[in-house]
Structure 1
Amino acid sequence: MLLIAATVAADTVLTLLHAPAALLLGPLVMAIGFGVAGATLRPPGPLRLTSSTLIGCLVATALGPALGPDLLGHLPTFLLIAVSTLAMSLGLGWLLARLGWFEGATAVWGLSPGGAASMIALAQEMGADARTVALMQYFRVLLVAAAAIGLAHVAAPGMHAGPGKAWLGPVHLSGLAATALLGLVGAGLSRVLKFPAGIFLIPGLSGAVLMRLGWLHPEVPPILGAMAYAVVGWTIGLSFTPATLAHSARALPRIIASTLILIALCGLSGLVIGLTCGVDPLTGYLSTSPGGVDSILIIAASTPVDLPFILSAQVVRVILVLIAGPWAAGQVARWTQAKEEP
């Protein structure tokens, strides 16, 4: 109850200040405070699942009207973004391990732009420092979101902070039914296909296509959207525990520095993408952001950017990371360990 009350207060203040992505930033900041203070609560699995599907439906409602066939012409660019992001992450991890910033292959797994949980599990199997990898993964998600919010504030100061409608505005039962259907299909297919990111990507993509065809019109009441944003923020923020921070306290400056270097490299890549593809710099940056897809999509959906371009780039990156990421990170990690052996 204290976390909910603190989140509502933070959301209200940030919304009044017209802060970008206020409905994500508020719960994220409050949850970090609670996590560092020793709170052991975590959003339950069903609540995280429901929130992810709602975010997918929100993406669908924002993407559907703007969806067009011209995105296929950018497919080589999206592949280049995905490959370059993965290569920069693994290359930087290998370099930092060789420079002695981290022991063994910890840096490789910590900077890999895949799902945090899967990267931590694989790192543990490979004998890396799982706690440091966890902190690097969570800091990557946190700092990527913070950098995106900050850049959005500079690049689009007039953006709206949230869903942008009356909290309890009129909704149609058919729209709610369409949202529920998309959510159930997304959750079911993501489980069957063992595709965790599909929980929000499948409803987002399929819902957008169905909206474009006029076959489906999902609706997400703003109050539900705000709740979904809160759960995402809590999930990230509560990951910062005293035990994890204490274990990696001495390495914390290097963890933050390595994450900022990765963000800077991807930012430069985004600038090049923006210049070559004719999109604004914020769109270029959000399309190359290394991870935290759900938070990136929340920020993109509340900013005046090219959402179809960003979503397409992030989808291609997620697919590539899921297919080749664990294998590539494992190969680089083994190479790193082999180089360290006398």
Structure 2
Amino acid sequence: MAEPGWGARAADAALVVAVAAGLALALDVLDLPSPALFGGLLAGLARGLAGRRRLAVPKPVTTAAQGLIGVSIGALVDLGTLEAVARNWLPVLLVTLATLLLSVLAGLLMRLQRGVSPVTGAFAMVAGGASGITAMSRELGADERMVAVLQYLRVLLIVALMPVTAATVFGADPGAGGPTVDDAGPGWPAGLLFAAVCLGAGAPLARLLRIPVPALLGPMLVAAGLDLGGLSAGADVPAPLAAAAFLAVGLVVGLAFTRDSLRTIGRAMPLALVVILGLIVACAGLGALLAATTGASALDAYLATTPGGLYAVLATAQDSGADATFVLAVQVLRLFVMLLSAPLLARWLRRTRG
């Protein structure tokens, strides 16, 4: 069979991107987490399974998407979050490290399922940073398809269970926090400049310092540094650009699916559900310990230690009148610890897998 021409290949790629964008918009209307990433994953999955010829996202697009996700994560850091952590730094740090340990143990349990490597199991169960972990998983030797499906299965379960748990167990009162103040920041031109500076400086600096996964971690660290230094003026990646980055990562993962990989993930699903629910309960236990050692309310500590769904957690905190600053501080600290420790964790698991 003759290879299709450039025009046919471009039309094929454009159709997949258009379908992904349409799915992202539909999922956004349904208020699901990470709609752009999910839309790209579903469209890529359909094309990967149905197409006779392989389609791949160009490497420069993948690298840029990783960098933009890194900038978005780095922009979450500010002096307010650091001050909230500093007041209770030891209990917060211990709970964060305990969450990392629980993630590793959960990943080791996933090894009971045939076809799941130690690195894949651990990355699939890392509590927090689903988008960042998914974006870096292939580069660190994990099966990004399994990682993406199980990471977002956990996020979906948290988003579904968290409001009910907060209201029934911790007495959260929806609407008690009043309307949320929307800080739009300095606007999209400043956001574009901020993203360009972080991308332009982050990856080369990370390569110079030999930081693993430089395309994501470099821009993330530069963005955090600019925020903490007061040089960003509150700028963030413009929403359409961030959505495009998540869409690209979703397409990278979705297009890599095969029928065999789909069957492997399907076989792993029952064990994964049990392990994820156990991880959610264990993190709630860590929340009880955090409340006992910091003086935070039981609701604040529960929301601060929920293993994922950052934006849904913050929305619940603001809506119920919880201490959103404390919740954000603990969640962001854990997010950074998870992402920065992921390369070391992958290296250790590869060395000890025998």
2:23 maps to 1:10:
yes
Residue pair 2:72, 2:237 contacting (<8 A) in 1 also: yes
Q: How far is the alpha carbon of 1:187 from its aligned partner? A: 1.4
- Aligned residue for 1:40, secondary structure, equals coil
Residue pair 2:202, 2:219 contacting (<8 A) in 1 also: yes
Distance in structure 2 (CA, Å) of the matches to 1:29 and 1:165: 32
Residue pair 2:304, 2:331 contacting (<8 A) in 1 also: yes
Q: Aligned residues, how many? A: 291
Residue pair 1:151, 1:282 contacting (<8 A) in 2 also: no
Distance 1:175 1:110, change over 3 A: closer
Q: How far is the alpha carbon of 1:77 from its aligned partner? A: 2.1
Residue pair 1:51, 1:232 contacting (<8 A) in 2 also: yes
Q: Which amino acid aligns with 2:98?
A: L
Residues 165-210 of structure 1 show CA distances to partners (whole Å, capped at 9, x for unaligned) of: 99xx9533x5432321111222123333444445334433442343
2:203 maps to 1:187:
yes
Give the % identical residues: 21
Q: Which amino acid aligns with 1:263?
A: I
Higher relative contact order (CA 8 A, sep 6+): 1
5 Å matches for 1:293-304? none
2:77 aligns with 63
Aligned to 1:285, which of 306, 309, 316?
Answer: 306
- Aligned residue for 1:224, secondary structure, equals helix
Q: Which amino acid aligns with 1:222?
A: A
Residues 107-140 of structure 1 show CA distances to partners (whole Å, capped at 9, x for unaligned) of: 43541328543564xxxxxxxxxxxx74xx5223
Residue pair 2:75, 2:224 contacting (<8 A) in 1 also: yes
Residue pair 1:86, 1:321 contacting (<8 A) in 2 also: no
Distance in structure 2 (CA, Å) of the matches to 1:237 and 1:206: 29
2:156 aligns with 149
- Aligned residue for 1:41, secondary structure, equals coil
Structure 1, gaps ≥5 residues long: 121-132, 159-163, 288-295, 335-342
Residue pair 1:110, 1:119 contacting (<8 A) in 2 also: no
2:145 aligns with 138
2:121 aligns with 111
Q: How far is the alpha carbon of 1:312 from its aligned partner? A: 1.8
Q: How far is the alpha carbon of 1:228 from its aligned partner? A: 0.9
Residue pair 1:190, 1:196 contacting (<8 A) in 2 also: yes
Distance 1:25 1:49, change over 3 A: same
Distance 1:165 1:18, change over 3 A: farther
Distance 1:41 1:211, change over 3 A: same
Q: How far is the alpha carbon of 1:283 from its aligned partner? A: 4.4
Distance in structure 2 (CA, Å) of the matches to 1:282 and 1:267: 11
1:313 aligns with 334
1:30 aligns with 43
Residue pair 1:67, 1:209 contacting (<8 A) in 2 also: no
Q: How far is the alpha carbon of 1:40 from its aligned partner? A: 1.8
Structure 2, gaps ≥5 residues long: 1-13, 124-132, 165-173, 175-181, 292-299, 318-323
5 Å matches for 1:261-280? 261-278=274-291, 279=300
Aligned to 1:238, which of 255, 265, 278?
Answer: 255
Q: Which amino acid aligns with 1:285?
A: T
TM-score, normalised with respect to structure 2: 0.68
Residue pair 2:85, 2:330 contacting (<8 A) in 1 also: yes
Distance 1:15 1:107, change over 3 A: closer
Distance in structure 2 (CA, Å) of the matches to 1:300 and 1:184: 32
Aligned to 1:229, which of 240, 246, 251?
Answer: 246
